[in-house]
Chain A
Amino acid sequence: MLKINDLHASVDDKEILRGINLTVNAGEVHAIMGPNGSGKSTLASVIAGKEEFEVTKGSVELDGEDLEDDAPEERAHKGIFLSFQYPVEIPGVSVTNFMKTAINESRKARGLEDMPANEMLKLIREKSELLEIDRKFLSRSLNEGFSGGEKKRNEIFQMAMLEPKLAILDETDSGLDIDALRIVANGVNKLKSKDNAVIVITHYQRLLEHIVPDFVHVLHNGKIVKSGGKELAHELEEKGYDWLKQEQAV
């Protein structure tokens, strides 16, 4: 589904990604771990098409199609979803209205009519139950005054609504208490299918106890330095990242 080939990316002439290779197939869950500043969030942003980053070499392909010329919204229309570490507050636009706009823009891009209002309401109800979100929450302004946990839950709610092919969860576990973590992980697990894939970006192993990865990759200095199964996450939890850095140095 997703194929990243020798990806190099810079911001302000500073190279952050230095040759990433990664293949994610449908039905898989991949975890990307690594110390602060290793390029995890940059990788997520580059896949989602953030213009601030310049791809200097290599490519990102979705279903065999190079995404290079696609704007972020076009990538979204093709099925890429990024759950933000710091979701943005949009005063005056309710969660419901925001979702209506997002869904109908995606439908428009696919040549479909707007989703009928009753269908939309049904979908909103169904997905909000999945994330244990109450109705009052949906009429609040998007992310405005939301707690950290509410923001993250709302991100996964949006993911549930948009049903992406590839979901990238960027530090979704940060700022979550254990209950919120369980709800968020539960939501992600229920949305998982043989037709979609998830990339979980995290600093800690905590979330991976709930969303169990098929593959774990360690990012360091803009490169994947080690890949393995879920046991690699445990190893990292025990040993930290220093041993990897040393291994690299050698």
Chain B
Amino acid sequence: MDLKEKLISSFMAFENNVDVDHPVHDIRSSAIKNFEEKGFPTKKNEAWKYTSLNSLQKVDFSIFPKEENTIEYKDVKKYFIHEIDTYKIVFIDGIYSSYLSETTHDGVDICLMSSALTKPMYKAVIDVYFNKIAAKDESLTSLNTAFSREGAYIYIPKNKMPKKPVEILHFATGNEATLMLQPRNLIIVEENAELQVIERHQSLTSNEVLTNSVTEIFAAKNAIIDFYKVQNNVSTASMIDNTYIDQKDKSVVKLHTFSFGGKLTRNNLNFYQNGEYIDSTMKGVTILGEKQHVDHHTLVHHIQPNCESHQDYKGIYGEQSTGVFNGKIIVDKIAQKTNAFQKNNNVLISDKATINSKPQLEIFADDVKCSHGCTIGQLDEDALFYLQSRGIPEKEARALLMYAFANNVLESVRIPELKARINKLIAKKLGVNLGFDI
């Protein structure tokens, strides 16, 4: 039985464990139909030309973990930004771990999707927001919607800001030989409210894991959201991330993606600007080696006038790693005075590494500023000589240059401890001690 068939038949088992009379279940039922119709995307699909899911479909993934597993905090402490106090929503093999988590209902809701989907007090919010911005026609999002049951639920009411950032962590313990996870997150930040989120998926063994995640984010008028995705997984863990962001007037959403590991990572980031004077920022640092593969697919849809979008993706590809950057910008006819900027700069440090970079601009308005630039190159030999001539050995000099290359992406990271952590990950990934704390 291939993975698609297995998932479809698992849906029936899944239905035994959820309230099929809940309105959300109608959404699930039509989603599984869409997935059944479309199946996994193939390379014939233009959007999946450079990322193949074939080998993943041959893995006999376990869809539901058989038993709950526990892990000690000390064993996973390093995956948290433990230097600071945070709210934590933690899942082990897809199941909520209350003892590793720190949730709250004190003025804001930072808790679980399973509660939000089942408890009557959340029904009004779920009715308005659940599956409203996520694509209905995209097969992998539909697959997630069909199995949506657990994940993070965050609701920040008007004028509120949680006392501390929220960490969403998913651990895979290897308790199952193979495991497929489908977390579903819903994040709503109301008018003048603020939120900072750090999301990380971590497999703790070399057992095969596939995560197909969907996150819906709603930023109301004047809302400010910083979202950080830390992707530094083991080389047997794959990730398909589908994030949908709906922005209203004057909201500011900055999303950073740090991709340092994992077997196959596909980031589908979709911004919809449903208002004016919106700022949408997407930044990324990708540093890959081995046979790792990362595919960044971004979309910014400028629907209303006077908005901005900024994209800045830096990639460093070594060994036999492969990267994709596909940045789509749509500017609707009425979206005049749009400023849309996109940059994708890449350095290949091995002959066998590849990157495919493609801007896709669809502009229907005439009074707009749009720019895009993509570069693929090697490190500057003159710069290398400069550093070496100061006594810095070649290996360290190369690392320093790569660090400098990726650095500006970190400037907008607003949590200093996270920034320090990312800096350390970059140094580690580049295989050097740069001799100072950067």
Residues of A within 8 A of B (CB): 45, 48-52, 71-73, 75-77, 80-82, 84, 86-88, 90-93, 97-98, 100-106, 109, 114, 158, 162
Taking CB atoms, residues of chain B closer than 8 Å to A90 are 383, 387, 400-401, 404
Tell whether B37 is near chain A: CB-to-CB under 8 Å.
Answer: no
Q: Is the interface of B mostly helix, strand, loop or mixed?
A: helix
A48 → B minimal CB distance (Å): 5
- Give bound CA distance, A98 to B389, whole Å: 13
Stretch in B238-246, B253-261, B335-343, B391-399 with 4+ CB within 8 Å of A? B391-399
Taking CB atoms, residues of chain A closer than 8 Å to B404 are 90-93
Taking CB atoms, residues of chain B closer than 8 Å to A92 are 403-404, 407-408, 410, 438
Q: Is A109 in contact with B391, judged by CB distance below 8 angstroms? A: yes
List 6 tightest A-B contacts by C-beta distance, closest first: A92-B407, A72-B388, A76-B391, A106-B391, A101-B435, A88-B386
> Can you name 9 A-B residue pairings with CB atoms under 8 Å?
A71-B393, A73-B390, A76-B388, A80-B389, A90-B401, A90-B404, A93-B404, A101-B400, A114-B435
One of B380, B394, B438 near A93 (C-beta < 8 A) = B438
A151 → B minimal CB distance (Å): 11
Taking CB atoms, residues of chain B closer than 8 Å to A103 are 391
Minimum CB distance partner of B392 in chain A:
A105
Residues of B within 8 A of A (CB): 380-383, 385-394, 396-397, 400-401, 403-404, 407-408, 410, 434-436, 438
Taking CB atoms, residues of chain B closer than 8 Å to A77 are 391
Taking CB atoms, residues of chain A closer than 8 Å to B396 are 101, 105
- Give bound CA distance, A105 to B396, whole Å: 10
- Give bound CA distance, A77 to B436, whole Å: 20
- Give bound CA distance, A237 to B182, whole Å: 77
One of A50, A84, A87, A100 near B435 (C-beta < 8 A) = A100
- Give bound CA distance, A50 to B392, whole Å: 14
Q: Is A71 in contact with B401, judged by CB distance below 8 angstroms? A: no
Taking CB atoms, residues of chain B closer than 8 Å to A51 are 381, 385
Q: Is A88 in contact with B383, judged by CB distance below 8 angstroms? A: yes
One of A80, A81, A101, A162 near B434 (C-beta < 8 A) = A101
Minimum CB distance partner of B437 in chain A:
A97
B258 → A minimal CB distance (Å): 15
Minimum CB distance partner of A92 in chain B:
B407
Taking CB atoms, residues of chain B closer than 8 Å to A49 are 388-389
Q: Is A73 in contact with B394, judged by CB distance below 8 angstroms? A: yes
A124 → B minimal CB distance (Å): 13
A197 → B minimal CB distance (Å): 17
Taking CB atoms, residues of chain A closer than 8 Å to B401 are 90
Taking CB atoms, residues of chain B closer than 8 Å to A71 are 388, 393-394
Taking CB atoms, residues of chain A closer than 8 Å to B381 are 51-52
A72 touching B435 in the complex, CB below 8 Å, given contacts A91-B408, A92-B403: no
Taking CB atoms, residues of chain A closer than 8 Å to B410 are 92
Q: Is B390 in contact with A162, judged by CB distance below 8 angstroms? A: yes
Taking CB atoms, residues of chain B closer than 8 Å to A109 are 391
Q: Is B389 in contact with A48, judged by CB distance below 8 angstroms? A: yes
Q: Is B436 in contact with A100, judged by CB distance below 8 angstroms? A: yes
Minimum CB distance partner of B406 in chain A:
A92
Q: Is A73 in contact with B392, judged by CB distance below 8 angstroms? A: yes
A93 touching B383 in the complex, CB below 8 Å, given contacts A48-B389, A101-B392, A162-B390: no
- Give bound CA distance, A80 to B393, whole Å: 15
A97 touching B438 in the complex, CB below 8 Å, given contacts A88-B383, A91-B404, A92-B408: yes
Q: Is B389 in contact with A72, judged by CB distance below 8 angstroms? A: yes
B410 → A minimal CB distance (Å): 8
